[in-house]
Amino acid sequence: MTMGEWIPGATVVPCNLDGGSMLGGEAYCTMHTYESKGYGLSAVEAARRLVTSGNGCTGTFNPITGEIAQMIPASRASRTLRNLSGGVQTNRAGRFHSQFEVVGDANRPWTQDLTPAGKAGLARIIAWNTEHGVPLVWPAGPPPAYPGGTPNKLGPGPSGYYAHSQWKENDHGDPGALDLSIFFGSGSGVAPPAPVPTPTPIRKPIPTQRYHGSVYLSNLKKGRRNEDVRRYQVALRDYPGIKTIPLNPSGATGFYGKETIAMTEEMYRVFEIWEPGVGWDVGDCSEPGRKLLSKLGLSVR
CA distance 225 to 219: 8
- Is residue 206 in a domain? no
pLDDT of 246: 52
- For residue 241, being part of any structural domain is answered with yes
* Judgement on whether residues 47 and 142 belong to the same structural domain of the protein: yes
Domain count, the chain: 2
Instruction: Say if 194 falls within a structural domain.
Output: no
Query: How does DSSP assign 274-290, residue by residue?
Result: HSTTS-TTSS-TTS--H
Asked, for residue 246, whether it belongs to a domain, the answer is: yes
How far, CA to CA in Å, does 66 sit from each of 118, 197, 296? 4, 15, 29
Q: Report the pLDDT value the prediction gives residue 258, as an integer from 0 to 100.
A: 83
**What is the domain range of residue 133?**
3-184
Question: 136, 168, 184: which is the final residue of a domain?
Answer: 184
9 and 115 co-located in one domain: yes
Kindly report the CATH number assigned to the domain that includes residue 100: 3.40.80.10
Does the residue 99 lie in any domain?
yes
A 10 A CB-CB count for 53 gives 9
Residue 129 neighbours by CB distance under 10 Å = 23
Q: Enumerate residue ranges in the chain where pLDDT < 70.
A: 1-3, 185-205, 241-251, 281-282
> Do residues 179 and 109 lie in contact, with contact meaning Cβ atoms separated by under 8 Å?
yes
Whether 177 and 225 share a structural domain: no
Q: Which residues contact 49 (CB under 8 A, 6 or more apart)?
A: none
d(CA 279, CA 277): 6
Kindly report the CA angle at 36 between 31 and 38, in degrees rounded to 5? 100
- Condensed to tens digits (0 to 9), the pLDDT of residues 151-192 reads 999 999 999 999 999 999 999 999 999 998 887 764 333 434
Residues 167 and 228 in one domain: no
The reported pLDDT for the residue numbered 4 is 84
Report pLDDT for 242. Answer: 67
- Residue 112 has what pLDDT? 92
